[in-house]
Amino acid sequence: MRVKIVAGNWKMNNDKEETEALIEALKSKGKFTGVQVRIAPTSVNLVQAVNATKDTDIKVSAQNMHYSSSGAFTGEISANMLESIGVNSIILGHSERRAYFNETDADLEKKVAKAIQHDMEVIFCFGEELNDRKENTHFDVVEKQLKAALFSIQPSDWKYIVLAYEPVWAIGTGETASPEQVQEMHAFIRQLIENQFGKIVADNVSILYGGSVKPANAQEIFSKPDVDGGLIGGAALNADDFFAIIQSA
Ligand code: PGA
């Protein structure tokens, strides 16, 4: 059966000391039961994060990586580099990467393939913009994003994939998709996966929701049958809030 996951995407926040302090604060909350926890600090703090979370239930994810193994790609990091410091989980396709760093579906298809080659978990983000929802094309947009980056993988590779539906209009805006809107989209996504890869794959893939999740709304969203946890931005920067969200899953 699929697992519940709550992942904190720290984005470009927290220096070395702040990273260590936030991890310590999270660790002091004790064990997490029935839910897996990820934190994704910025790349320069991944080593600290891996060391600080040793012997805990917290797993460290990276926020991005290149699809090449090495070479002249100034500013980029590779799967081998992440692997060598003990990071085997990666967030790919975040809307900020797509919007500000021109990450395309074709890039993402290559990045997903590279991550799978390295036995890395992929937290794959996708979601429509406000205009898409207003024009009622949000299902088409999501279908296109998923098909472009994920439909070329093998059914057996889905064990590496965690999906994170993040409507762009709800990210960092305080505006959350309603639990009904989230459930409707997650059920659509699961059906898409089932049509292409079969029921076992679809039933086992965790589909997270992301976009202004807070302690106050987490429980209602997470209670929906096709919602298997969340990808949390702003609220993951506060240990109390993040822990409260983890406990809601
Ligand atoms: P938010 O970000 O929780 O601050 O809306 C979510 C995300 O970008 O993953």
The pick from 129, 171, 213, 221 for probing ligand 1's pocket by mutation, whose C-beta has the most ligand atoms within 8 angstroms, reads 171
Residues 49-55: contacts with CB under 8 Å, at least 24 apart: 49/19, 49/23, 50/85, 50/86, 50/87, 52/19, 52/20, 52/23, 52/24, 52/27, 53/23, 53/27
Considering the entire predicted model, what is its pTM? 0.97
As given in the structure block, the two tokens for residue 220 are 């209602």
Q: What is the pLDDT of residues 194-226, one digit of tens each?
A: 999 999 999 999 999 999 999 999 999 999 999
User: For the chain, what is the mean pLDDT?
Assistant: 97
Going from the Cα of 94 to the center of ligand 1, the distance in angstroms, rounded, reads: 10
The pick from 232, 241, 245 for probing ligand 1's pocket by mutation, whose C-beta has the most ligand atoms within 8 angstroms, reads 232
Q: How many CB atoms lie within 10 A of CB 55?
A: 6
Going from the Cα of 93 to the center of ligand 1, the distance in angstroms, rounded, reads: 13
Q: What is the pLDDT of residues 155-165, one digit of tens each?
A: 999 999 999 99
State the pLDDT confidence band at 172, using cuts at 50, 70 and 90: confident
Is the pLDDT confidence value at 152 over 90?
yes
Is the pLDDT confidence value at 142 over 90?
yes
Give start and end residues of each alpha helix (H) in the chain.
16-27, 46-52, 79-84, 95-100, 105-117, 130-134, 138-150, 179-197, 199-204, 215-222, 239-248
CA 89, 93, 97, 101 dihedral sign is positive
Going from the Cα of 71 to the center of ligand 1, the distance in angstroms, rounded, reads: 32
Q: What is the pLDDT of residues 226-242, one digit of tens each?
A: 999 999 999 999 999 99
Q: Whose CA is nearest to atom 6 of ligand 1?
A: 233
The pick from 5, 9, 91 for probing ligand 1's pocket by mutation, whose C-beta has the most ligand atoms within 8 angstroms, reads 9
Write out residues with Cβ below 6 Å of ligand 1. Answer: 9, 166, 171-172, 210-213, 231-235
Residues with catalytic function: 94, 166
State the pLDDT confidence band at 176, using cuts at 50, 70 and 90: confident
Q: Whose CA is nearest to atom 7 of ligand 1?
A: 233
Alpha-carbon gap, residue 236 to 249, rounded angstroms:
14
What is the per-residue pLDDT for 175? 84
Give the nearest ligand 1 atom to 125 CA. 9
